[in-house]
Amino acid sequence: MISFVRLRPALCTAVMAAGLAALPLQADTLRIATMGEPSSLDPHKISGTWENDVAGDLFEGLITEAANGERIPGVAESWEISEDGTVYIFRLRENARWSDGEPVTAEDFVFAFRRILDPATAADYAYLLYPVKNAEVVYGGDAEPETLGIEALDNHTLRITLERSTPYFLDQLSHYTAYPVPRHVVKEHGDRWSRPANLVSNGPFKIQRWQSQTRIEVVRNEHFHDADNVALDQVIYFPIEERNTALNRFRAGEIDVARDFPTQQYGWLRDNLPEATHTAPFLGIYYYTLNTREGHPTADPRVREALSLAVRREVITDRILGTGEVPAYSFVPPGISHYEPAMLEFSELSQDERMERARELMSEAGYGPDNPLQLRLRYNTSEDHRQVAIAIGAMWEPLGVQVDLFNSEVAVHYTDLRQGDFDVGRAGWIGDYNDAQNFLSLLESGVGNNYGAYSNEQFDALMREAAETQDLERRGEIMAEAERIALADSATLPIYYYVSRNLVNPALQGWENNIEDIHRSRWVSFEE
């Protein structure tokens, strides 16, 4: 693990020299603009990426994330995994404590897992823990929470049993759905335990104040096992939904980190704040879902392929967005462990060759100048989505495709997608964890997020086979085979891989770009 030298003495001098000795140590406070107000501080009641920032500073799971996003031991000190990959035994740190000084025990984890999977908790992200034995039946209310595959062998030894070997399970344990919750506090306060006045956490920071819609203040948790290496005294999160506001406040020096910035300003930022502007590959795919249901022109795979061929992805990434997004020729983003994404076959062709092929396909499918194809393209309201939709509409024009654009607010958009009321629909997926299965499962028959209702038996069979496969490399190959089938069917139209966008005060150290865009404040310090 990286160890940090604390820089406090230097800071004191700097602050005093500036004549600000009366104020608390300013530079020991990190101010972050998160992109929204958390729904809760209860890790069982959140589901957004912006909430992860706060929850991950307050709590720590068995496994946690290093500055570069790599998984490192958290509350667990060490662990053993059984031969068949279904039984995990964790040894917990003796010095892990809650912010009120109580020890963090294996029972806290057992309690937390049972709580999040209890139907009465109504946790919307509980399904991430489905690999745990009996999780799904417990959540469905068909089994007692006690039958869940988690057990405290003693105060500091925890056993988790899985339904089947799940190679990405350790990664998942760093997710907030797997955080412990303080049994003693939840028992005392019930659902109100996560109110700022009651909240007790086990991470590097603890809550100080939450003023709704304006700021959340956390301070260093002296009981944290690695507290000596936490440089910051305080972190303040400002929920700022307007990306332009975040940018302005960053420029005025009111915040140190903005977790997003407006793509439209990227050119300006690159010229004026190159040191502060961070973009990095991100585990997400921006794609158009194509409706394969009967009666839609996109039910014809030739039409789907032609549409995909005509989309000049480079124009979208370079000219429209221009923040370093990468054109997507696969459904699974690159950079996923134990996986080499399959590629769309035509990615080798030149644009002219693609268009020629697209025209052939369209006329085979019976469309042409005298029988133009009419498509309904739905997107949810956002400047970026709008621009991409317009550009793609224009790219399809040479094929004689007439596109009707429909934008709507999020709730209506996804209702329409689920009801299949579209030909082409904007969608995106950000990986819950670093595994190809998380993406490819979107294309399995009958899955809720499979908006286009793509269905291919061969694909489904391969996905089932992959789920049973222990060997990580082999499993990756099987999934890549499945992806190849989906790509050959033009199941969806991948457009680009997301990038993460951050503005970071150049004086910050320990803030590293990573593919999951996870940044824990415990690694961050101010230089000098």
Interaction with another protein in 194-213: which residues (CB under 8 A)?
194-195, 210-213
String marking each residue 284-303 x if it binds another protein according to CB under 8 A: --------------------
SS3 116: helix
Contact 236, 249 (CB under 8 A): no
- Among 21, 72, 394, 461, interactor with another protein by CB under 8 A: 394
345-374 binders of another protein (CB under 8 A): none
320-349 binders of another protein (CB under 8 A): 320
79 is a site residue for another protein (CB under 8 A): no
Smallest distance, Å, CB 504 to another protein? 18
432-451 binders of another protein (CB under 8 A): 448-449
- Alpha helices, DSSP H, located in 141-265: 169-172, 183-189, 243-251
> What is the CA angle 154-155-161, rounded to 5?
55
Residue 149 or residue 262: which is nearer to another protein going by CB? Answer: 262
Q: How far is CA 126 from the centre of its chain?
A: 15
Q: How many residues lie near another protein (CB under 8 A)? A: 71
Residue 106 or residue 235: which is nearer to another protein going by CB? Answer: 235
411 is a site residue for another protein (CB under 8 A): yes
Q: Whole-angstrom Cα distance, residue 409 to residue 340?
A: 35
238 is a site residue for another protein (CB under 8 A): yes
Looking at 53-61, 408-416, 466-474, 475-483, which segment touches another protein (CB under 8 A)?
A: 408-416
Strands 234-239 and 29-34: parallel
Contacts of 50 (CB under 8 A, 6+ apart): 34, 35, 36, 38, 239, 259
188 is a site residue for another protein (CB under 8 A): no
23 is a site residue for another protein (CB under 8 A): no
Pick from 123, 193, 113: nearest CA to 145: 113
DSSP string computed for 430-452 = E-SSS-HHHHHGGGSTT-TT-TT
Looking at 34-42, 67-75, 108-116, 501-509, which segment touches another protein (CB under 8 A)?
A: 34-42
SS3 429: strand
26 is a site residue for another protein (CB under 8 A): no
509, burial (CB in 10 Å: exposed 0-12, middle 13-18, buried 19+): middle
Neighbours of 348 (CB within 10 A): 10
Looking at 15-23, 56-64, 297-305, 381-389, which segment touches another protein (CB under 8 A)?
A: 381-389
Smallest distance, Å, CB 178 to another protein? 17
213-232 binders of another protein (CB under 8 A): 213-215
Residue 114 or residue 195: which is nearer to another protein going by CB? Answer: 195
Smallest distance, Å, CB 119 to another protein? 5
Looking at 119-127, 226-234, 462-470, 471-479, which segment touches another protein (CB under 8 A)?
A: 119-127
Helices and strands in the chain: count of H runs, count of E runs: 16, 19
- Among 157, 414, 455, 488, interactor with another protein by CB under 8 A: 414
Residue 125 or residue 346: which is nearer to another protein going by CB? Answer: 125
Residue 92 in tokens: 């917990």
User: 500 pairs with which residues across the strands?
Assistant: 280
91 is a site residue for another protein (CB under 8 A): no
Length of the chain: 528
- Among 68, 161, 248, 455, interactor with another protein by CB under 8 A: 248
CA 323 → CA 245, 317, 501, 503, 515, distances in Å? 19, 7, 8, 13, 15
User: 81 pairs with which residues across the strands?
Assistant: 88
72 is a site residue for another protein (CB under 8 A): no
Q: Whole-angstrom Cα distance, residue 26 to residue 330?
A: 46
Please report how the helices 301-310 and 351-364 are oriented relative to each other, as an axis angle in degrees rounded to 10: 160
Residue 102 or residue 241: which is nearer to another protein going by CB? Answer: 241
387 is a site residue for another protein (CB under 8 A): yes
Q: Whole-angstrom Cα distance, residue 239 to residue 245?
A: 11
Smallest distance, Å, CB 300 to another protein? 25
Smallest distance, Å, CB 283 to another protein? 15
68 is a site residue for another protein (CB under 8 A): no
Smallest distance, Å, CB 152 to another protein? 26
- Among 80, 94, 222, 254, interactor with another protein by CB under 8 A: 254
57: DSSP letter:
H
123-182 binders of another protein (CB under 8 A): 123-124, 126-127, 136, 139-141
- Among 54, 162, 344, 389, interactor with another protein by CB under 8 A: 389
φ/ψ of residue 517, rounded to 5 = 55, 45
